[in-house]
Amino acid sequence: MTKLPRSIADLHAAYAGGLTPAALMAALAARHDAIGDPGIYLHRPSEPAMASAIAALPPFDPTRFPLWGVPVAVKDNIDVAGMPTTAACPAHAYTPAESAPAVARLLAAGAIITGKTNLDQFATGLVGVRTPHPIPRNACAPDRVPGGSSSGSAVAVAQGLALLSLGTDTAGSGRVPAALNGLVGLKPSVGAIPSRGVVPACPSLDCISVFAGSVADAWACYGVMAGADDLDPWSRPIELGTPGAALTRLGIPRAQDLHLDGPEQRAAWEAALARLPAGVTLVERDLTPFLETARLLYEGAFVAERDAAFGALVPAEAMHPVTRRIIAGAARFSATDAFRGLHRLAELRLATRPAWDGIEALLVPTAPNFPTLAELEADPIGPNARLGTYTNFVNLLDLAAIAVPAPLRPDGLPFGVTLIGPRASDACLAATGATLMEGFAA
């Protein structure tokens, strides 16, 4: 069976050596069947549809078409023309006539869409189990959560069913699943990739994110999608630049701000710090205002933005029970509460500024915990809230981030760290993430 190459460069070399997109896609379909996980994809193109997509490819030219023949999975809250969009809510299903701009840019660069992936319904969750469909199985630990909300997208790449995938990341949905499946999760500066054509969760915060096996591949995908969209009210121009030298002064949580559940998570964090490249200086930082900001997202009136975005789209009884419970909670907040939340956020943005003095980026654990499915069955809310400890604040504070796999836990399960920096620091974070991965692999 043809195996999916490990990188875009390897794939293009294989194509140059005679591999055809048709042979690769047939092999990926066979691999999907062999894995036997019905929860990864919610829709896959028919054989005629896939053949048509392959036939539409331009002549092989990876310089002109940097994603030529690259299989890309797309989260099912992002529109792909001719494929149903459901956001994991069958009552919300529709088939768009045109693709989201981000997807259209991928297709123009030569990508092949392998299908639409499962998610926490309406992108509300970090666990990946809030779906009416079968739950995607974590690629490294089937008895544990796959991470969400971009669960299917992460598992598709981790299982070798796609080289890249698109997720969305409002509160960590593109970083947490990356960490729990041993992947890179690139969360761009807010507005850098158009969010038009995305079923909104929190429109002011939503980002399209990228899952990949390497920083280089994630950056290649990001570079294709980034750019202003005059029809998108949330689009914001950005100068991406090119990843260059890695950053060397990184802030890390103080001991009292380090929230890690159990000795396995703590040991993995300590192993990551011990294997940082030479020349990196670590500076402890007070993360109190960052962590308070994180709590605003679900514990305050900001949850009402989710109600405003999709609460009226479908009847309450059509929602997943946990999603319905979260959205129903928005009713307890008033307009006054919303403004109080905005005012508090402004105060916290000011309070976080001193933390950046003398450092170039923050380095934090991506997730403090790695819940089992049994733990989520017993408590659908608590472990999910814990997963967002170091992710929920990032978009609220207008920051960029990239999650990268770190040394495995002592029990062999994946662990990840995240680099966080100011808006438009994306290239510097990518360069640093790639350097960290080299050090971790040494």
Q: Assess whether pLDDT exceeds 90 at residue 37.
A: yes
Q: Is the C-alpha dihedral spanning 373, 378, 380, 385 positive or negative?
A: negative
Least confident of 176-180, 338-342, 390-394: 338-342
Q: Assess whether pLDDT exceeds 60 at residue 412.
A: yes
User: Which residues are part of the catalytic machinery?
Assistant: 75, 149, 173
Parse the chain into domains and list their residue ranges. Answer: 8-225
pLDDT for residue 121 = 97
Task: Count Cβ atoms within 10 A of the Cβ of residue 256 and give its class: 0-12 exposed, 13-18 middle, 19 or more buried.
Answer: exposed
Where does 109-196 have alpha helices with state H?
Answer: 151-158, 176-180
- Segment 60-76 mean pLDDT: 98
418 DSSP β-pair partners: 364, 403
- Segment 45-72 mean pLDDT: 98
pLDDT for residue 385 = 95
Q: pTM value?
A: 0.97
pLDDT for residue 306 = 85
pLDDT for residue 302 = 85
Q: CB of 154 within 8 A of CB of 183?
A: yes
Q: What is the Cα 146 distance to its own chain's centre?
A: 12
Sorted by sequence, the CB contacts under 8 Å of residue 435 that are 6+ apart come out as: 246, 277
- Segment 206-234 mean pLDDT: 98
Q: What is the Cα 264 distance to its own chain's centre?
A: 24
Nearest alpha-carbon partner for 291 in 371, 361, 396: 396
pLDDT for residue 310 = 79
Residue 311 carries which DSSP code?
I
Sorted by sequence, the CB contacts under 8 Å of residue 412 that are 6+ apart come out as: none
Q: Assess whether pLDDT exceeds 80 at residue 291.
A: yes
- Segment 356-372 mean pLDDT: 98
Task: Provide the pLDDT confidence category of residue 172 given band limits of 50, 70 and 90.
Answer: very high
- Segment 23-51 mean pLDDT: 97
pLDDT for residue 329 = 85
Task: Provide the pLDDT confidence category of residue 74 given band limits of 50, 70 and 90.
Answer: very high
pLDDT for residue 153 = 98
- Segment 158-187 mean pLDDT: 98
- Segment 92-107 mean pLDDT: 97
Q: Assess whether pLDDT exceeds 90 at residue 407.
A: yes
Q: Assess whether pLDDT exceeds 70 at residue 101.
A: yes
The mean of the pLDDT values for the chain is 96
Q: Assess whether pLDDT exceeds 60 at residue 1.
A: no
Instruction: Write out 347-366 in H/E/C secondary structure.
Output: HHHHHHHHHHCCCCEEEEEC
What is the per-residue pLDDT across 316-359, written as a single tens digit (0 to 9) for each? 888 899 888 888 888 899 999 999 999 999 999 999 999 999 99
Q: What is the SS3 assignment for 245?
A: coil
What is the per-residue pLDDT across 123-165, written as a single tens digit (0 to 9) for each? 999 999 999 999 999 999 999 999 999 999 999 999 999 999 9
Q: Assess whether pLDDT exceeds 90 at residue 13.
A: yes
Nearest alpha-carbon partner for 212 in 71, 63, 43, 361: 71
Q: CB of 267 within 8 A of CB of 409?
A: yes
Rounded Cα distance, 143 and 181, in Å: 13
- Segment 181-210 mean pLDDT: 97
CATH architecture of the domain with residue range 8-225: Alpha-Beta Complex (3.90)
Q: CB of 44 within 8 A of CB of 144?
A: no
